[in-house]
Amino acid sequence: MKGLLKFITCGSVDDGKSTLIGHILYDAKLIYADQEKALELDSKVGSRSGDIDYSLLLDGLMAEREQGITIDVAYRYFTTDNRSFIVADTPGHEEYTRNMAVGASFADLAVILIDASQGVLVQTRRHARICKLMGIRHFVFAVNKMDLVKYSKSRFDEIVKQIEELKNELLLDDIYIIPLSATEGDNVTVKSENIPWYNGVPLLQYLETVDVDSSEEEEGFYLPVQRVCRPDHTFRGFQGQIESGSISVGDEIVTLPSNEKAHVKQILMTDKDVKTAFKGQPVTITLDKEVDVSRGCVITKDTNLASYQELTASILWMDDEQLTAGKDYLVKLGTKTISGIVSEIKYAVDVNTGEHIPADSLTKNGIAVCTILLAEPIAVDLFSKHKTLGELILIDRVSNMTSACGVVDSVEEKADDAKKASFVLGSLEARGDIFEEFFYDTSSLNVLKYQPVKETYTKGDTIPVEGESYKYPDSFDIIVLRDSVAVKVRDRKITDIVPTSEYSYGGVPVVNGRGFEVLADSNEKIQQFLSEYSNLKSINDADFFAKWVKFDTYRKIAIQNR
């Protein structure tokens, strides 16, 4: 028996999507008797024609029955002798395109219906384009209502030509074309005698046998962290679902965006200890050392994954309120939710022709390619390389609406810098967040920060103690807690870099890794500060920072328009 097939039906209004699925369920005796009874009763009460109206099986909302249309996606579950299916029946009206996209994001295969008397319509092209955008690789074009064109082969051939054009334009790799009639049952579950010139298989048979597992494996292992499990101070596990590859106890992993290395100590597959876990499994992983990982971070192995702050994405706009370049949204990508600005709309895409149109705004159901600037670098990749880290939604900060969905097309390559340490001496490395610039962005009305081009400094080097949003004393010490490293600066020169365990207070001001003043003026207090930090349950503990550090001693917020 083949694995589960998740598919959608889409196409223009009245192309007969719900009727087609209703007919499959009915023919294959896949509906329960009482639903069948309800269906017949419903038909008598409120159908558009006199016969059984198969679409009533799926159009379950009152408004849908009243208007005779599909508004939202319906999910149906059925099993034949050969395969289990989940089908999402999606609305054809342009108004409800976003609901169609919801179905597309979930499916492995799309059945796109085309009315034989109408041919390929704008809405057909829109749906095919969105399916492709959302990552669907397998397409069946069901040329429906063949009975209305007298089962004409020449009409079918004309439509095949239109489909081939669409295929070439959208670079669809796997397509199958079937002439059928959903109301009459031609080529739905059994091969039609009315269409003898068709040599292929009927729709259901095709769906039962099509292979959708062929999609290439993604490179390496990655696990976006959903939550940190901390039942007591002895256990700190990272929980999430493995998105690709496998992981075994003892493997070396790399964390993103903190770029730390550690080894896997224990793997729990839900509540069971395992030695190895695979793609798709929900796990809890513990590591052999403390790393800077919280929800939204990613644990990786054997990948080229990295952190980026700027990306380009193809997005589908789904909000009644239009998108305007420069507006700030919440971006959800993987398990990370972060502030981000749609800094530029590069171009909008004409859903019909695929043409690129210059645009500075985007309205509902429109597709565009835009640049998104995130508040800080996070693990992200191209949709085509690591799917889960290339999918995103934009959430409106006021209405909380899911305003857009999109896929990452490219990332800005400045990210390698993020890996580079700023302070290095022998094997000691520490990050240089003290050089980050904090600024109030006048277009998004948000406080953001960015890291200027990174330099690496070692003992004897002179460092810039003044930037646009910071001014440190000429002599001070930096304690980078996350790297357990202290840097001593005298007369703007680095005089030493030591592990925090060997650090003692030197009578000069002390800042933390981000350049905030540490409120400690004696060695005793410094040691207390370090020991409290090492006992923290979470390194994001706000109380700890509120007690120990002060932002505005050496820092301020600059005003910029980026």
Partner 1 sequence: MSQLSHLDELEAEAIYIIREVAAECEKPVMLYSIGKDSSVMLHLAMKAFYPEKPPFPFLHIDTTWKFKDMIKFRDDIAKKLGIEMLVYTNEEGVKKGINPFDHGAAYTDIMKTQALKQALNKYGFTAAFGGGRRDEEKSRAKERIFSFRNKAQAWDPKNQRPEMWKLYNTKINKGESIRVFPISNWTEKDIWQYIQREKIDIVPLYFAAKRPVVYRDGNIIMVDDDRFPLKEGEVPELKSVRFRTLGCYPLTGGIESTATTLDEIIDETLSSVSSERTSRVIDNEAQGSMERRKREGYF
Interface residues with partner 1 (CB under 8 A) are: 3-4, 32-35, 38, 42, 45, 57-58, 60-63, 65, 71-77, 79, 84, 86, 98-99, 101-102, 105-106, 134, 217, 226-227, 229-231, 235, 237, 239-241, 246, 268, 270-271, 278-282, 284, 295, 318, 330, 332-333, 335, 337, 388, 391-393, 395, 400-402, 405
- Coil vs helix vs strand at 461: coil
**Alpha carbons 440 and 518: distance in angstroms, whole number:** 24
Of 227 and 419, CB closest to partner 1: 227
Token pair for 25: 């369920």
Which residue number, 10 or 102, has a Cβ lying nearer to partner 1? 102
Nearer to partner 1, 47 or 194 (CB): 47
Phi and psi at 73, nearest 5°, equal -70, 135
Compute the distance between CA of residue 491 and CA of residue 465 in angstroms, rounded to an integer: 10
Contact 80/64 with Cβ under 8 angstroms? no
Nearer to partner 1, 330 or 498 (CB): 330
Q: Which two tokens stand for residue 530?
A: 């370090």
Shortest distance in whole angstroms from residue 411 CB to partner 1: 18
Q: Locate tokens 């905030």: which residue?
A: 516
Rounded to the nearest whole angstrom, what is the least distance from the CB of residue 115 to partner 1 in the complex? 24
Give the shortest CB-86-to-partner 1 separation in angstroms.
Answer: 6
Minimal distance, residue 89 CB to partner 1, in Å? 9
Which is nearer to partner 1, 45 or 542 (by Cβ)?
45
Which C-beta is closer to partner 1: that of 49 or that of 400?
400
Task: Select 383 or 423, whichever has its Cβ closest to partner 1.
Answer: 383
> Could you tell me the smallest distance in angstroms from the CB atom of residue 440 to partner 1?
24
Minimum distance from residue 166 beta carbon to partner 1 (Å): 23
Distance separating alpha carbons of residues 200 and 365, to the nearest angstrom: 35
Beta carbon of residue 60, minimum distance to partner 1 (angstroms, whole number): 3
- Which CB atom, from 42 or from 292, has the smaller least distance to partner 1? 42
CB of 452 to partner 1, least distance (A): 32
Kindly write down the DSSP assignment for every residue of 222-254, as one continuous string. Answer: EEE--EEE-SSTT--EEEEE--BSEEETT-EEE
Q: Which is nearer to partner 1, 51 or 213 (CB)?
A: 213
Please list, residue by residue across 479-494, b when 16 or more beta carbons sit within 10 angstroms of its beta carbon and e when fewer do. Answer: bbbbbbbbbbbeebeb
**CB of residue 350 vs partner 1: minimum separation in angstroms?**
22
Write the burial class of residue 196 (CB in 10 Å: 0-12 exposed, 13-18 middle, 19+ buried). exposed
φ, ψ at 8 (rounded to 5°) = -125, 160
- For 72, 94, 247, 310, the CA distances from 299, given in Å and listed in that order, are 36, 40, 10, 21
What is the closest distance, in whole angstroms, from the C-beta atom of residue 15 to partner 1 in the complex? 20
Yes or no: say if 357 and 348 are a contact pair by the CB < 8 Å rule.
Answer: yes
In angstroms, the CA 391 to CA 381 distance is 9
Closer residue to partner 1 in complex, CB, 213/552? 213
Task: Give, rounded to a whole angstrom, the gap between the first and last alpha carbons of the chain.
Answer: 56
| Cross-strand pairs, 493 | 462, 490
Are 350 and 229 within 8 A, CB to CB?
A: no
Cis before 202? omega within 30: no
Which amino acid, residue 311? Answer: L
- The answer to whether the CB of 470 falls within 8 A of the CB of 434 is yes
State which residue, 223 or 511, has the beta carbon closest to partner 1: 223
The closest of 211, 234, 225 to 257, measured between CA atoms, is: 225
- Min dist CB 329 to partner 1, Å, is 11
- CB of 23 or CB of 488, closer to partner 1: 23
In whole angstroms, the minimum distance from the beta carbon of 245 to partner 1 comes to 9
Both structure tokens of 409: 């097309």
For residue 152, give both structure tokens.
């004409």
